Chains A and B, each alone.
Chain A
Amino acid sequence: MPDLIQMKEISKIYGNGIYANRHVSFSVREGEIHALVGENGAGKSTLMKVLYGLEKPDSGEILINEKPVTFSSPQDAMKMGIGMVHQHFMLVGSLTVTENVVLGYEPMSGIFIDHNKARQKVMQLSESFNLKIDPDIRTSDLAVGLKQKVEILKALYRGAKILILDEPTAVLTPQETEELFTQLKSLKKQGFTVIFISHKLKEVKAISDRISVMRRGEMIATVNTQDVSEHDISEMMVGSNITGKIEKEKANPKESYLEIKNLVWHDNNKKAVVNGISLTVRSGEIVGIAGVEGNGQDELIELITGLKAPDSGEIILLGKSTNGKKIRQRRKMGMAYIPSDRMTLGIAREMSIENNIISTKLDDKSIYNTIFLSRQKIKSLSKKLISDFNIKCRSERTEIGMLSGGNIQKVVVAREFSSNSKIIIAEQPTRGIDVGAAEFIHKKLIELRDNGCAVLLVSADLDELKKLSDSIVVLYNGKITAYIDDVSDVSDSDLGNYMLGVKKQSDEEIGRAYNA
């Protein structure tokens, strides 16, 4: 059978001189689920943007059903039945589900949009594809999993027969991921073609028919999924051996570094989003926080880092209360923070890598010549971190916003890990990061733990949590529903039940999170 899509010798050089795709050839068969994998910055998103008409290739051609096509805008791609769900959602928050789905292709009656008809169409679509959703709700009020459904509906409404999903599972909970996969499989049964980018090799292995691997802008290989193991894939991705397993000694916790007592915080609607949480993180241990998104973990972290002030309760860093202490003071007390939202909290987008690295180190004498910042010292510090953390960039003065998502995260992690802090708050530290870099960050976290740091880890990735944490605290509805001290002993389904609030431990058991 001829290939549905053929991309031949595609090259793309961005305005800043970055060679994102080098003579990439890529083809997709009709009705398959095709996974596209590769390290951060390998050029996956770029290749897909070219296919979707968002970026123009500098050379190369695209054939659809063996006919050459040129796309000068996404609209052209849509006409050929290509739809894309982006790495970052493309929804207008104040518009309803219906309005978002039909955006750009509204049914009209006279000069007005025919809202009833639009609504009907969306309902029909959501029923026939079993993507259940309330058509009248504003998309800003939706949970991530539902937002993604809207994005998929949007593509289907535009008549997409080929769906491109750029890291669709990075923000999903295990349950949501499973649901997405069921939907993708049923789409496949109905004759749809799916291209799927992911860093989670387990998922890739579970759902795809074929896998294409990219490395540094080049296409390395396309293989049948059943012929390869996860291990093989990761080897192809980085060109070296990655185990995925982590050697870790048993934790040897000492004195308490971070103590949280009865913390309460209410949102604008007076809802207790953090509702009486007590827990301790000691020197030399990693405490993981599990929970479905929106159950108070974001707010808990914001309270600890000082982005929010608690309504009651106390947070004690290294024996000192943080009441009224600003973020900078908390950092000085020995706290480092890797935020999950790296774009708004982690970096200053328009500044260089170098400036982003020193942004939290301006009190540090080692980057000064007497009173002035030393260009030389900053440069050598940046260069060292860039090479230590294997950050892919042209130079330390590159604007950070130009880096790929994963490489931006590496800059943040490099900065925070190099601050000699005693307490590390790591929030989704490897979200959207390739396996090689993720493993590196994991090893670093364990190394920091072994050197006596206290680490609080929030992650939506249960495998990551189980791999790293010495104990796990499960949050549901702003409260702790379980404290798991022996992580090797817990099953995913147990964790899932605690996360969904189906099961709850006794108060004594939960109390161990604070007293143990």
Chain B
Amino acid sequence: MDRILNLVFTTDFISSVIRVTTPILFATMAVLMSERAGVVNISVEGAMLISSLMGVVGSAYTGSAWIGLLIAVLSGIVYSWILAVFHLRLNTNIVLTGIALNLLASGLTVFILFLLTGDKGVSTALPSKVLPNVSIPLIKNIPILGNIISGQNFLTYIAILSVFVIHIFLKRTRLGTYIRAAGEAPEAVETAGKSVKSIRQKALIISGALAGCGGAFMSMAYLSMFTKDMIAGRGFIALAAEAMGKGNPILSFVVSLLFGFADALSNNMQLLSIPSEITRIVPYLVTIFALAIYSGRDLTKKKNPI
């Protein structure tokens, strides 16, 4: 236990919490955007997976990490848009379509990877690029804090920035207000003369872009390659984080930090020669417990139904 505590209270550890929170945070914001518009988007997982591969492929073939990122974001958007077309235009069930898209992503990425490299597991054969870390002048010189805040990956800052941008976007802009209204009372939006479908479609496109960033972070920052099924449930953890954050961007951010903490803990526990089979379940256990506590609290509230 002591060893764990020693491990937790180091700047390296805290800095790694922020690092591993990044993809969860992107996923959470992606879920949040669509959820607020009234679409349960479980295919964020799949969108991230596709983007993580496309980022690697894009950067490898163009030689530019930035173009790789752009391609990743576009792939996320396309994937989300497919969900929009199926659910909003063809009226398919949202959850089943989401599951199908997740399964498709899992198979499709391996297939593309195999076509390009002949390998079914990792993309080491592709000379892909990574996105840069950014050291922030002045802040980097502050003791302790400097080590934590400065020197993170470019996308980490974007992720944190996105929380506040989304917060303001939902609150103060027109589309943001429509998105909230479409999630809460679609008939009200429809009778006010706005198309709920087109609002949801826009929300899904934003959601896809965020998932794209999350995917790019996984393969171009967290690791420097694509590996099979590398999203490892982060898209689903995000569903939990969003629900526990009650759809509020800031609160959801805090909850994703909790899950990031669990993730970082599990990574670092491996250094303490605890078998990785055990440490790897930590983030998922934390998710389940957190959800149980959360909904337990919800139940006591619901003792008085309606």
User: Which A residues contact B (CB, under 8 angstroms)?
Assistant: 52, 54, 73-75, 78, 84, 86, 88, 90-95, 99-100, 103-104, 106, 108, 111-113, 115, 154, 267-268, 302, 307-309, 344-345
Asked whether A91 and B188 contact (CB < 8 A) given A111-B173, A113-B174, the answer is yes
Q: Which of B54-62, B236-244, B254-262, B298-306 contacts A (4 or more CB under 8 A)?
A: B298-306
Whether the pair B301, A103 counts as a contact (CB closer than 8 A) is no
Whether the pair B304, A267 counts as a contact (CB closer than 8 A) is yes
Whether the pair B177, A106 counts as a contact (CB closer than 8 A) is yes
Of A92, A104, A111, which contacts B193 at CB under 8 A? A104
Whether the pair A113, B305 counts as a contact (CB closer than 8 A) is no
In the complex, chain B residues 177-192 whose Cβ is within 8 Å of any chain A Cβ: 177-178, 180-181, 184-185, 187-192
Which residues of chain A are within 8 angstroms of B193 by Cβ–Cβ distance?
A: 73-75, 78, 104
A478 → B minimal CB distance (Å): 15
Of A88, A111, A154, A308, which contacts B304 at CB under 8 A? A308
Whether the pair A104, B194 counts as a contact (CB closer than 8 A) is yes
Which residues of chain B are within 8 angstroms of A91 by Cβ–Cβ distance?
A: 185, 188
Which residues of chain A are within 8 angstroms of B195 by Cβ–Cβ distance?
A: 73
User: Which B residues contact A (CB, under 8 angstroms)?
Assistant: 172-174, 177-178, 180-181, 184-185, 187-195, 301, 303-306
Whether the pair B177, A268 counts as a contact (CB closer than 8 A) is no
Whether the pair A268, B172 counts as a contact (CB closer than 8 A) is no
What is the CA–CA distance of A267 and B305 in the complex, to the nearest angstrom? 11
Query: Which residue of chain B is the closest to A91 with respect to CB atoms?
Result: B188
Asked whether A86 and B191 contact (CB < 8 A) given A113-B173, A113-B174, the answer is yes
What is the CA–CA distance of A58 and B303 in the complex, to the nearest angstrom? 48
B224 → A minimal CB distance (Å): 37
Of B174, B190, B301, B305, which contacts A307 at CB under 8 A? B305
Of B173, B191, B303, B305, which contacts A74 at CB under 8 A? B191
What is the CA–CA distance of A100 and B177 in the complex, to the nearest angstrom? 10
What is the CA–CA distance of A267 and B304 in the complex, to the nearest angstrom? 8
20 inter-chain pairs at a CB distance below 8 angstroms, sorted by A residue, are: A75-B193, A86-B191, A88-B187, A90-B187, A92-B184, A92-B189, A93-B184, A95-B181, A99-B177, A103-B181, A103-B194, A104-B192, A104-B194, A106-B174, A106-B177, A108-B174, A113-B172, A307-B305, A307-B306, A308-B305
Query: Which residue of chain A is the closest to B301 with respect to CB atoms?
Result: A268
Say whether chain B's binding surface is mostly helix, strand, loop, or mixed.
helix
A255 → B minimal CB distance (Å): 32
B36 → A minimal CB distance (Å): 11
Whether the pair B188, A92 counts as a contact (CB closer than 8 A) is yes
What is the CA–CA distance of A308 and B189 in the complex, to the nearest angstrom? 33
Query: Which residue of chain A is the closest to B305 with respect to CB atoms?
Result: A307
What is the CA–CA distance of A123 and B187 in the complex, to the nearest angstrom? 25
A140 → B minimal CB distance (Å): 10
Of listed B178, B185, B188, residue having the most chain A CB within 10 A: B188
What is the CA–CA distance of A101 and B172 in the complex, to the nearest angstrom? 16
Asked whether A344 and B306 contact (CB < 8 A) given A73-B193, A90-B188, the answer is yes
Which residues of chain B are within 8 angstroms of A93 by Cβ–Cβ distance?
A: 184-185
What is the CA–CA distance of A113 and B178 in the complex, to the nearest angstrom? 12
The 10 closest A-B pairs by CB, nearest first: A75-B193, A104-B192, A90-B188, A92-B181, A92-B185, A74-B193, A112-B172, A90-B191, A103-B192, A92-B188
What is the CA–CA distance of A268 and B300 in the complex, to the nearest angstrom? 11
B306 → A minimal CB distance (Å): 7
What is the CA–CA distance of A95 and B192 in the complex, to the nearest angstrom? 14
What is the CA–CA distance of A500 and B171 in the complex, to the nearest angstrom? 38
Which residues of chain A are within 8 angstroms of B192 by Cβ–Cβ distance?
A: 74, 90, 103-104, 154
Which residues of chain A are within 8 angstroms of B306 by Cβ–Cβ distance?
A: 302, 307, 344-345
Whether the pair B180, A54 counts as a contact (CB closer than 8 A) is no
What is the CA–CA distance of A302 and B185 in the complex, to the nearest angstrom? 26
Query: Which residue of chain B is the closest to A114 with respect to CB atoms?
Result: B172
Asked whether A95 and B180 contact (CB < 8 A) given A78-B193, A90-B185, A103-B189, the answer is yes
Whether the pair A309, B303 counts as a contact (CB closer than 8 A) is yes
What is the CA–CA distance of A112 and B165 in the complex, to the nearest angstrom? 12
Query: Which residue of chain B is the closest to A78 with respect to CB atoms?
Result: B193
What is the CA–CA distance of A305 and B188 in the complex, to the nearest angstrom? 32
B237 → A minimal CB distance (Å): 26
What is the CA–CA distance of A84 and B193 in the complex, to the nearest angstrom? 11
A399 → B minimal CB distance (Å): 16
Interface contacts beyond A73-B195, A99-B177: sample of 18 additional A-B pairs, CB < 8 Å, sorted by A: A52-B191, A54-B190, A73-B193, A74-B190, A75-B193, A88-B187, A90-B188, A90-B192, A92-B181, A92-B188, A93-B185, A95-B177, A100-B188, A103-B188, A104-B189, A106-B174, A112-B173, A113-B173
What is the CA–CA distance of A103 and B189 in the complex, to the nearest angstrom? 8
What is the CA–CA distance of A92 and B180 in the complex, to the nearest angstrom? 9
Whether the pair A94, B173 counts as a contact (CB closer than 8 A) is no
Which residues of chain B are within 8 angstroms of A100 by Cβ–Cβ distance?
A: 188
What is the CA–CA distance of A91 and B178 in the complex, to the nearest angstrom? 12
Which residues of chain A are within 8 angstroms of B173 by Cβ–Cβ distance?
A: 111-113
B183 → A minimal CB distance (Å): 9
What is the CA–CA distance of A154 and B177 in the complex, to the nearest angstrom? 16
Query: Which residue of chain B is the closest to A54 with respect to CB atoms?
Result: B191
What is the CA–CA distance of A84 and B192 in the complex, to the nearest angstrom? 10
Which residues of chain A are within 8 angstroms of B303 by Cβ–Cβ distance?
A: 309
Which residues of chain B are within 8 angstroms of A154 by Cβ–Cβ distance?
A: 192
A174 → B minimal CB distance (Å): 26
What is the CA–CA distance of A108 and B173 in the complex, to the nearest angstrom? 9
What is the CA–CA distance of A294 and B191 in the complex, to the nearest angstrom? 28
Which residues of chain A are within 8 angstroms of B305 by Cβ–Cβ distance?
A: 307-308
Which residues of chain B are within 8 angstroms of A52 by Cβ–Cβ distance?
A: 191
Which residues of chain B are within 8 angstroms of A106 by Cβ–Cβ distance?
A: 174, 177
What is the CA–CA distance of A115 and B174 in the complex, to the nearest angstrom? 11
Which residues of chain A are within 8 angstroms of B301 by Cβ–Cβ distance?
A: 268
A369 → B minimal CB distance (Å): 35
A15 → B minimal CB distance (Å): 13
Which residues of chain B are within 8 angstroms of A73 by Cβ–Cβ distance?
A: 193, 195
Which residues of chain B are within 8 angstroms of A86 by Cβ–Cβ distance?
A: 191
Query: Which residue of chain A is the closest to B303 with respect to CB atoms?
Result: A309
Asked whether A103 and B177 contact (CB < 8 A) given A74-B192, A74-B193, the answer is yes
B302 → A minimal CB distance (Å): 11
B182 → A minimal CB distance (Å): 9
What is the CA–CA distance of A224 and B195 in the complex, to the nearest angstrom? 39
Which residues of chain B are within 8 angstroms of A268 by Cβ–Cβ distance?
A: 301, 304
A362 → B minimal CB distance (Å): 21
A330 → B minimal CB distance (Å): 15
Which residues of chain A are within 8 angstroms of B174 by Cβ–Cβ distance?
A: 106, 108, 113
Whether the pair A94, B177 counts as a contact (CB closer than 8 A) is no
Which residues of chain B are within 8 angstroms of A84 by Cβ–Cβ distance?
A: 191
Which residues of chain A are within 8 angstroms of B304 by Cβ–Cβ distance?
A: 267-268, 308
Which residues of chain B are within 8 angstroms of A75 by Cβ–Cβ distance?
A: 193-194
Whether the pair B180, A94 counts as a contact (CB closer than 8 A) is yes
B169 → A minimal CB distance (Å): 9
Which residues of chain A are within 8 angstroms of B185 by Cβ–Cβ distance?
A: 90-93
B179 → A minimal CB distance (Å): 11
A406 → B minimal CB distance (Å): 20
Which residues of chain A are within 8 angstroms of B188 by Cβ–Cβ distance?
A: 90-92, 100, 103
What is the CA–CA distance of A139 and B194 in the complex, to the nearest angstrom? 20
A239 → B minimal CB distance (Å): 33
